[in-house]
Amino acid sequence: GRYAKMKRVTVLLLLTSASAFAPARQQQHHRSMIAATPSARPSSLPLNGSFDDYSQTDPDQYLAYQDTVVGTGDVAQEGKFVTVAYKGTLMSNGKKFDEGPGISFRLGEGRVIAGWEQGIVGMRVGGKRTLKIPPRLAYGDRGAPPVIPPGAHLNFDCELKAVASSPTEETLMQAKSMNPFNLVALALVFGNIVMLGINQITN
* Residues with catalytic roles: 86, 97-98, 113, 139, 156
Half-sphere exposure of 17 (CA within 13 A, CB side): 23
Strand boundaries in 107-153, DSSP class E: 128-133
Helix axes 167-177, 2-20, angle to 10 degrees: 50
Closest CA to 16 of 198, 192, 202, 195: 192
- Render the burial of 146-175: b for 16+ CB within 10 Å, e for the rest: ebbbebbbbbbebbbbbbbeeeeebbbbbb
Residue 81 β-bridge partners: 106
Helix or strand or coil: residue 96? strand
Phi-psi map region of 126: left, alpha, beta (phi>0 left; psi -120 to 50 alpha): left
- CA dist., res. 88 & res. 156, Å (int): 4
